[in-house]
Homo-oligomer: A and B are copies of this chain.
C-alpha cells in the first residue's frame, strides 16, 4: 500500500499495529506465558489490530480492550490507573459506570507514544499476570520503534 488512501488520518499505521501485536505474542511464547490476547487501539480508541492465541479464555478480548481503552480515556498507562483505583475508588467507580464498564484499570494497558511524546494509541494485553502481560506489550511497542508508557514514572 505505497500510497495511503485518502481518508482518516493515522498516527498509528496498520503496519506498526501489526508489528506490535505480533511481537507481543512472540514475547509471551518466549517467556512461556499463558495464552495471550493483544489489541492495539488508535487515537480514537478504535482497534487497528487484535490477535488472540489459541487456548485464551472467552472474555480476554474485552479485557485487553478495556486495559487499552482505560489508558486512552484518561491519558495514563495502566499502572497509574491502578494507583488511582486504590486511592480514588469513588472516582474510578464513577468512571467505570461513565464508560459502560469499558475500562479495566490495571497494568497491561500501555500508551504508545512517538519520539516527541504524542500519544498515538494504546496496547492492551490479557492472559497471564498483569505485569507479565505488560512486559509483552512493552516489547511489542519497542519493536515497532515507538515509546511505551506503562504509567510509571521513568
Copy number of this protein in the oligomer? Answer: 4
**Using an 8 Å CB-CB cutoff, how does the interface string of A1-24 with B read, 1 for contact, 0 for none?**
100111111110110001000000
Q: How far is the CB of A89 from chain B (nearest CB, A)?
A: 8
Query: In the assembled complex, how far is the CB of residue A28 from the closest CB belonging to chain B, in whole angstroms?
Result: 10
Tell me whether A90 is interfacial, beta carbon within 8 Å: yes
Q: Are B48 and A52 in contact (CB under 8 A)?
A: yes
Interface size on A, residues (CB 8 A): 70
Q: Are A99 and B62 in contact (CB-based, < 8 A)?
A: yes
A137 interface contact, C-beta 8 A: no
Closest residue on chain B to residue A120 by CB atoms? B9
Indicate whether A46 sits within 8 Å of B74 (C-beta atoms), given known contacts A53-B14, A93-B93, A119-B9: no
Interface residues of A (CB under 8 A from B): 1, 4-11, 13-14, 18, 29, 34-35, 39, 43-63, 66, 72-75, 82, 85-86, 88-106, 116-120, 130
